Structure 1
C-alpha cells in the first residue's frame, strides 16, 4: 500500500490563484498600515484557499506485476545450417532457466518459422505480433536467437525495452552461391539468348582459386561443365532446343567447407517460341475455301505466308499472247527443290496434277515430310479424280485413299470418339449446333487417326505421323460454310487454327504428352493420351527418392493429379516412354541468398534502445538490470530494464481539511485578528 497527497479543487485553479493574489494584497496593505492582526488574517486566507484546493490523503492498494522478457527463436531454413539448431536450442534452454530464476520475471517464447511462400525470415512481424499481446509497460527486454538474416526489417516496431541479438553461426563460416542476374521468360527457338550469371563467395572465404566449375543441363539431360570466374558477371549465350517450356539447370558443385549447397543451383524455366512460322499455301484453283485459308494464316502476325494459286491452268487456250499476261511466273523450282526445307507447313488446297509441279517436286515434298516437315491436304472433287494428288509420289505419305466418289449431300460434321480425346478437336463446342457441309470426298483410311466424320460416319479429318513429319487430310472443301454462318456456322477458324498448329508441332496440341504446371511447391501433373487407360507417373525428387502417383481422368484424353513437392529443386516425371522435368520453388530461395550470420541487418533496430549483439560461440552472456536510457549491453552481458509495473486494486481518499475544521479555523483566526486590532 502507498499513500500520497492529491488535490481536488472546488473551483478552477486560475480562480484560486486570483483569490490568492487578492488575499496577499490585503495582507500587504494591512502590514503597510500597521494593523496588528495582519498575520491572523493572512492565516485565515490560507485556510480558506487550502479548503478550496481540496487536499486529500490518497491510499492505493497496489499489486506488483511481473516483468516480461520476450525471446524470439528463429527456426527459418537458413537457421538450420551447420550446428545452428544446436546452438540455439542450448542457448534458449539456458536462458529460460536463468530468466525463470529471476524474481518477478516471466518469459514469453516465440517461434519464428519461414515466411509464407518465399518471404524469408519475418522476425519483425513475429515480434510485432508478440508485443501486441502484452502490455508495453511490462516488457523488460527482448532477446532474439537468430543468424541475423531478417527479411522484414522495414516492419520493425517501436521497442518498449532493450532488444539483443544472440548470434548463431561461426565466425569462420563461408558460403558460395550462384546468382541469376538476368533470365528472360521467353526466347526464340534457334536464336541465342543471353543469360547473366554470377558466382559469389561470402564470409571467411579460404584460398580456393579464382574460378569455379559451372554445370549446365537442359530438361534434365547430361550436364556440360565449364570453368567460370568467381565474383564476376558472366554473360552466357544459350539456344533453346525446342518449343514450349525448357527447364535449364545451372549447378556449381559444392566446395569443401562451404556452409550449404542449397544456393549452388538455379532453375530457369523458359518458353521457346518460334520467330516466324513459314507456310506455303498451294491453291489448285480460286474458290471460297482458298480465301478462308488465306485469311486464317494472314491474321496471325507470326506467320510468313507464301500463297501460290493456279489461275490459268496449262490446258486453258484462250489465244492471249504470253507477253500480254500480267501474271508473274511462280518460282516453283526454287520453292519445291531449293528452299522447301525453309517452310514449317505446306498446304495443298484443292490441288490436282496439271503438270505445273513435276513428279520430282512432289517426291521432294514427300521427302520433306520424312525429315520432319508437315503437309496438309484440303481435298475437293479433284482428289477423287484421275488427276488426284494421290496419284503422285505423295501417295506414300497420305493417310487415306480416295474411292473416286464425291458425295454431294448435306451432312453435319461430327467429332469421333477418338477425336474427343485429341487436342485438335476436343472441346470445340456443342456439335449439335454446328451448321451443315454440302460435299465430302469418300476416302478409305489406311493409317493415322480419324478425328472427324461426315456422311455415314465416313472419315472426314485424318491426322497421321510419317517418319519425323506430320500429314493431315481434310476430305472436304466446305469448311468455309461455317465461316459464312451457314445454318449457324461452326468453329471453323478454331479448328483450322488448331490443325495448322498441330502440324507445326506446337507442344500444347500434342496428343501424347506429359507435363506439369507448378504453383509454389505444388505441381499439377498432366498426361494427355488417346488411350483410355494410362499407368502411374513416376516422380523422382531432387534427393533421388522416387514414388508413383496415380492420375485421374478429368476429361476425355486428359489425366491429372496434384503433388506437393517437399523441397525446392528439379523433379523428373516419367510414364511409359514419356518424360518431363519441372522445377519447384524459386530460382534462388530467399532464405539462402545470404547465409552468413551477421548483426548488421538488425543493428539499426537494436541501437534505438542501446541493445547489443553477442555471438553464441563466445558463450552465453550474463543478464543484468539496467536503468532505462542507459547502455543495455557490454562485454559478456546484456541488460534488462526492470519495469516496476503494478495493478491498483483499491483507492481510498481522506480529506485533510474537512468542512467543520475549515469553518472552525477560519472563524478563530478572523475573530482573533479582529480582537487583536480592537484592543490596540
Structure 2
C-alpha cells in the first residue's frame, strides 16, 4: 500500500504545486523552449515533496467462520429428527476438523415461548460477534418449520438448509378454534374445532372426531376437513375438568401428536339452594347464617319450626303469618331441589311428620347432602335418632348422653389425613363446654372431644349421598373472638364443600397440573400407608412410573418434565387424573410435516434421509481474511538522488530556453 505524507504539509505542498503548474502552463502557452524539461523536473520535485511511502504490512491469517444452526424445537423431537440432526452435525464437525483455517460455531435454536421456531432471531444474535469478512457460510439443520424467515438474508454468505426428513411429509392437525374457560354445572357449553390436512388436498373429507371429559366420552361425530364445527360439551361437575378432542389419524402422517387438543373447563355453580331447619333458637344460628350468607352463590331458605303443622295457636290468624308456609310442598315434592339440607339442634317432637323425615332420608340416599348439628336434644326422647332419618345418620346417641365437662376438640389420626380437618390438625383449639356422647355407625370420625374421646365430627357417604354430623352445639364459641377464637367458619365451609363434592376435598383424590413444562401430581389418601407409584402416560402413549413422596399427612406428590403437547394421564390406586399442556406455543405444533417451503429460496436445500451430508467445503465461500500485526514505511523516492535529478531536469530546461542544445 502506498501513502503520501508531505514533509512540508499539504498546504505548502499545494502552493508549490500550483506555482509549478502555472510555470509549465505559461511555457506551453508561449511555446517556450525547454518546457518539457521543466515539466519533468517539476513533476519529480513534486513527487519528492509529496512524501510517497510504501507501507509494508505483516499479517496473520484469520479463520473462516461457519455457523451451524441446530433446530431443537419440539417438532424436532418426533420421527427421529433429533437423532438425524445429531448425526448430520457430527459429520459436519468431522469435516470441519480436516479443513485448515475453518472455525465451526454450533448455534442451538431452542423452542420459542410462543410463535413457533425463531431460527433467524437466534442466528442474528450469533452473527453479532462474527466479522462479515470471516463469515464463510451458514448451515441450518431443521425440519423446515421456521416462523421468522426474512425476505432477504441478513448476511452476505451462502446458506444451506439440511432438512431432517426424506421428502415433503403429510400431517393432520386438529385445531381448537374456540373453547370456554368456564361453564355452569348441569349445562352444556360450546367449543369449536377444525381439522387441517397438511400436504394433502382433501378439503371436505369427513373424518371421525371424538370429545372426552376427564376420560369419559361425551361426543362423537364426523367432521369435514377444513371447516369449523361447533360441539356441545356438558359441564358435569364443579371445579376443573380436562376436555380432550381427538381426530382419526391420517394414513402416513408424520406424527399423531397434534391429532388431539385439550383445554381445562372450570365448572361453576350458578346457585346453591340450601335449606336450614332450626329447632329452638340457639347461639349457633348466627354461625350458620354467617357462613351461608357469605357466599353469594348460596340461596338460603331458613326457618325455625316451633309447633306442629296442625297445632292450634291462640291468636288471630293475621297475627301468626301473612302467608301460610307450604310445608307439605317443601318436604314432599320440592325436597330434591335443594343442594344441601342442614338440621340445627332439631328434635322431632312431632314438629315434622315421619314421612317428611323419611323423604329427607331418601333424598340423601339418592345423592343429596345432609348436615346435622345436635345438642342435648339428641339424647332426648324426641331425638332424630328415633326417626326415619336415623337410617342415614352416621352416629347414634349412647350413655351418658350430654357430657358437660369442658374439653379441647382434637383431630383424630384419620382426621389429620382428611382434607376437611387436616388444616386444623396440630392446632391448639379453644375449649368447648358440651358434647353429645355417641357411637359411630358409619363413615369416618375426624374430630373427638371429652375425657373419653367421644366422636365430635363424623363424615359419611350414604348410598349416593353424603352426611355430616357435628355432635356438639358449642361451635359458636369459636366465633366470639379472644381466648375462645377458633376456625369455626373455615371448618364449616370445608365440611359444606365436602358434602357438595368439591374435588379438592375428596379424601381419595388424585390431581395433575402442568406448569412451566413440569407435570405436578398430588395424591390424597386416608390410608395410613403410602400409595404406590403413579403411572404417567404421555401424549404419545409412553408409560412412566413415578414414585410419590409424602409432603404432609395423607398428601403425596411427584413431578416430572412434560414438554410434549396435549394430554397427560395419571393413574394410581384406581384413580385417574388428566392434565393438559398449555397452548403457549401452539404454532410449533400446527404443522409437524417437514417441509422446504418456509425456507424456499434462502439457499441450497438437502433432504438428509435421502442424500448424504454434502461436502462442507462446497457449501462455503472461503474468505481468506487476515489480521495486520505490524507495518513498516519505505520511501519510494530516495530524497537526495531524486532531488539532484529534479534540479538537473530544471537546469536542462533553463539551458534549452537559453538556446542551448541537449
TM range (shorter): 0.7 to 0.9
User: What's 1:284 paired with?
Assistant: 279
Counterparts of 1:473 and 1:425, CA distance in 2: 14
8 Å CA contact 2:115–2:586 kept in 1: the answer is: no
8 Å CA contact 1:479–1:492 kept in 2: the answer is: yes
How far apart are residue 564 of structure 1 and its match? Answer: 3.9
The one of 628, 638, 645 aligned to 1:648: 628
Determine whether 1:470 maps to 2:466: yes
User: What's 1:227 paired with?
Assistant: 222
Counterparts of 1:175 and 1:463, CA distance in 2: 53
8 Å CA contact 2:518–2:563 kept in 1: the answer is: no
Determine whether 1:363 maps to 2:358: yes
Determine whether 1:329 maps to 2:324: yes
8 Å CA contact 2:214–2:243 kept in 1: the answer is: yes
8 Å CA contact 1:296–1:493 kept in 2: the answer is: yes
8 Å CA contact 1:266–1:587 kept in 2: the answer is: no
User: What's 2:495 paired with?
Assistant: 499
User: What's 2:392 paired with?
Assistant: 397
Counterparts of 1:83 and 1:548, CA distance in 2: 24
Counterparts of 1:22 and 1:388, CA distance in 2: 134
In structure 1, runs of 5+ residues without a counterpart are: 626-637
The one of 203, 212, 215 aligned to 1:217: 212
Per-residue deviation, residues 265-285 of structure 1 (Å, max 9, x unmatched):
223332333222221112224
Counterparts of 1:339 and 1:392, CA distance in 2: 21
Determine whether 1:602 maps to 2:599: yes
8 Å CA contact 2:190–2:232 kept in 1: the answer is: yes
User: What's 1:576 paired with?
Assistant: 573
Determine whether 1:412 maps to 2:408: yes
User: What's 1:442 paired with?
Assistant: 437
Give the alignment's TM-score, normalised by structure 2. 0.84
Q: Secondary structure at the match of 2:386?
A: coil
Q: Secondary structure at the match of 1:307?
A: strand
The one of 453, 458, 463 aligned to 2:454: 458
User: What's 2:547 paired with?
Assistant: 550
Counterparts of 1:512 and 1:299, CA distance in 2: 28
User: What's 1:195 paired with?
Assistant: 191
Counterparts of 2:353 and 2:8, CA distance in 1: 120
User: What's 1:177 paired with?
Assistant: 173
User: What's 1:509 paired with?
Assistant: 505
Per-residue deviation, residues 157-190 of structure 1 (Å, max 9, x unmatched):
7213132435565666432221111122332221
Counterparts of 2:578 and 2:616, CA distance in 1: 57
How far apart are residue 199 of structure 1 and its match? Answer: 0.9
Mean CA deviation greater in 60-69 or 43-52:
43-52
Determine whether 1:342 maps to 2:337: yes
Per-residue deviation, residues 460-479 of structure 1 (Å, max 9, x unmatched):
21111111111111122232
Per-residue deviation, residues 540-590 of structure 1 (Å, max 9, x unmatched):
525555554432222111122224458555444433343334445759864
Per-residue deviation, residues 406-465 of structure 1 (Å, max 9, x unmatched):
334443323222221111111237622x43333323333333222222222322211111
Determine whether 1:263 maps to 2:270: no
Q: Secondary structure at the match of 2:498?
A: helix
Determine whether 1:309 maps to 2:304: yes
Q: Secondary structure at the match of 1:424?
A: coil
Aligned length: 657
Higher relative contact order (CA 8 A, sep 6+): 2
User: What's 1:124 paired with?
Assistant: 120
The one of 149, 154, 161 aligned to 1:158: 154
User: What's 1:58 paired with?
Assistant: 55
Counterparts of 2:274 and 2:498, CA distance in 1: 13
Q: Structure 1 residues 13, 488: closer, same or farther in 2, change over 3 A? A: farther
Per-residue deviation, residues 593-612 of structure 1 (Å, max 9, x unmatched):
113444443358x3xxxx45
Counterparts of 2:474 and 2:351, CA distance in 1: 25
Counterparts of 1:24 and 1:349, CA distance in 2: 123
Q: Secondary structure at the match of 2:55?
A: strand
How far apart are residue 336 of structure 1 and its match? Answer: 1.8
How far apart are residue 615 of structure 1 and its match? Answer: 6.4
In structure 2, runs of 5+ residues without a counterpart are: none
The one of 487, 512, 516 aligned to 2:483: 487
Give the alignment's TM-score, normalised by structure 1. 0.82
The one of 590, 593, 603 aligned to 2:590: 593
Counterparts of 1:509 and 1:83, CA distance in 2: 44
Q: Structure 1 residues 484, 672: closer, same or farther in 2, change over 3 A? A: farther
